[in-house]
Amino acid sequence: MPVDQPLYPVNLIVAGRACLVVGGGPIAARKAAGLVSCGARVHVIAAAVSPAVRALDGVTWEEREYRVGDVVGYRLVITATGDPAVDGAVAADADSAGIWVNSADDPANCSFTLPAVLRRGELVVTVSTGGRSPALATWLRDQLSAQLGPEYLDLLDLLAEAREELRATGRSTEGLDWQSALNSGMLDLIRTGDLNRARERLQACLSSSSD
């Protein structure tokens, strides 16, 4: 799998979709937990299934060796056995079946990589190094975490509210100067608790850009 090309960033909707994790240790448990938190239906196959995996709500598991063809029927596969031979075999199996696969700590055997993730409600910020240094991605994520306070959720709510109001009238939200609105001092008003003035400023900016 090529690793020298730019990555195409996406946010996958895995809710209700079958995902497979191969491996039963702490890393596999974290990967499975991440999928579960997004609503995926997760199944684990591992020679030894740790208590951390067994404790995950909704996760099914089989304590056995991986067999060729086990990937069939899944939308996404993560392999994290810690055994390069096994992880490589799983990755090759998934790739040949046209299934997206991530092999932990092995970018060459990945058809997608997992970024460091910062969540603030529905606001999601990800940092990726293309698999070259997960440690740097995590460090940068933590730096950003200190800067993103609860005011950004209020900002998101105001923007989403305005966007839905425009769409409800049949107007396109494309072409409006959202960036000028965001640079208008809205965030400072939100930080002081003045949501009404922030909303008014947003509406003024959008009205001006639609004239």
At 110 the pLDDT is 94
At 210 the pLDDT is 65
Q: Is 193 left (phi over 0), alpha (psi -120 to 50) or beta?
A: left
The sign of the torsion formed by the CA atoms of 138, 142, 143, 148 equals positive
How far CA 135 is from CA of 62, 79, 87, in Å, comes to 31, 19, 21
* CATH class of the domain comprising 1-114: alpha beta
Per-residue pLDDT of the chain (211 residues; tens, 9 = 90+): 655 778 899 999 999 999 999 999 999 999 999 999 999 999 999 999 999 999 999 999 999 999 999 999 999 999 999 999 999 999 999 999 999 999 998 988 999 999 999 999 999 999 999 888 999 999 999 999 999 999 999 999 999 999 999 999 998 888 888 999 999 999 999 999 999 999 999 999 998 866 5
Are the C-beta atoms of 22 and 46 separated by less than 8 Å?
A: yes
Q: What ranges do the domains of the chain cover?
A: 1-114, 151-210
At 157 the pLDDT is 96
Q: What is the pLDDT of residues 74-94, one digit of tens each?
A: 999 999 999 999 999 999 999
CA distance 109 to 170: 46
At 16 the pLDDT is 98
Note the residue count of the chain: 211
